[in-house]
Amino acid sequence: MELRDGIRTTGAIRGFTDQVVDDQVVHDILDDARFAPSGGNRQPWRVVVVKDPTLRHQLGESMKPVWDEYVAISATGKTPFTVVDASAYQLASVTPGNVPNDLLDNIGNIPVVLAVAADLGSIAMMDKDLDRATITGGASIYPFCWSVVLAARSRGLGGVITTFASRVEPTTGPLLGLPQNWALAATIFLGHPIKQTTKLKRHAVDKFTTIDAFNGSPFTI
Ligand SMILES: Cc1cc2nc3c(=O)[nH]c(=O)nc-3n(C[C@H](O)[C@H](O)[C@H](O)COP(=O)(O)O)c2cc1C
Task: Tell me the per-residue pLDDT of 25-53, one tens digit each, with 9 for 90 and over.
Answer: 999 999 999 999 999 999 999 999 999 99
Does some domain include residue 221?
no
Does some domain include residue 179?
yes
Residue with CA closest to ligand 1 atom 23: 12
Q: Identify the pLDDT of residue 27.
A: 98
Res. 186: pLDDT tops 70 = yes
pLDDT bucket at 68, cuts 50 / 70 / 90: very high
Residue with CA closest to ligand 1 atom 30: 161
Amino acid identity of residue 1, one-letter, is M
Res. 93: pLDDT tops 70 = no
Does residue 164 have its Cβ closer than 6 Å to ligand 1? yes
Task: Render the burial of 164-179: b for 16+ CB within 10 Å, e for the rest.
Answer: bbbbbbeebbebbebe
Does some domain include residue 216?
no
Does residue 200 have its Cβ closer than 6 Å to ligand 1? yes
Does residue 163 have its Cβ closer than 6 Å to ligand 1? yes
Q: Identify the pLDDT of residue 91.
A: 62
Q: Which atom of ligand 1 is nearest to the CA of 101?
A: 11
Does residue 160 have its Cβ closer than 6 Å to ligand 1? yes
pTM of the model: 0.96
Does some domain include residue 218?
no
Does some domain include residue 11?
yes
What mean pLDDT is predicted for residues 175-193? 98
Cα separations (Å) of 207 from 8, 200, 201? 17, 16, 13
Complete DSSP assignment for 197-212: --------HHHH-BSS
Domain that holds residue 131: 3-208
- C-alpha of residue 212 to centroid of ligand 1, in Å: 30
Res. 164: pLDDT tops 90 = yes
Q: How many domains does the chain have?
A: 1
pLDDT, mean over the chain = 94
- C-alpha of residue 67 to centroid of ligand 1, in Å: 12
Q: Which atom of ligand 1 is nearest to the CA of 160?
A: 15
- Tell me: the pLDDT tens digits for 97-109? 688 999 999 999 9
- C-alpha of residue 160 to centroid of ligand 1, in Å: 6
- C-alpha of residue 159 to centroid of ligand 1, in Å: 10
Residue with CA closest to ligand 1 atom 21: 12
Does some domain include residue 56?
yes
Does some domain include residue 43?
yes
Does residue 193 have its Cβ closer than 6 Å to ligand 1? no
Residue with CA closest to ligand 1 atom 12: 162
Cα separations (Å) of 59 from 22, 26, 149, 158, 180? 22, 20, 21, 21, 19
Q: What is the percent of the chain where pLDDT is above 70?
A: 95
What mean pLDDT is predicted for residues 168-181? 98
pLDDT bucket at 197, cuts 50 / 70 / 90: confident
How many other C-beta atoms are found inside a 10 Å radius of the C-beta of residue 74?
A: 12
- C-alpha of residue 99 to centroid of ligand 1, in Å: 17
Does some domain include residue 54?
yes
CATH number at residue 52: 3.40.109.10
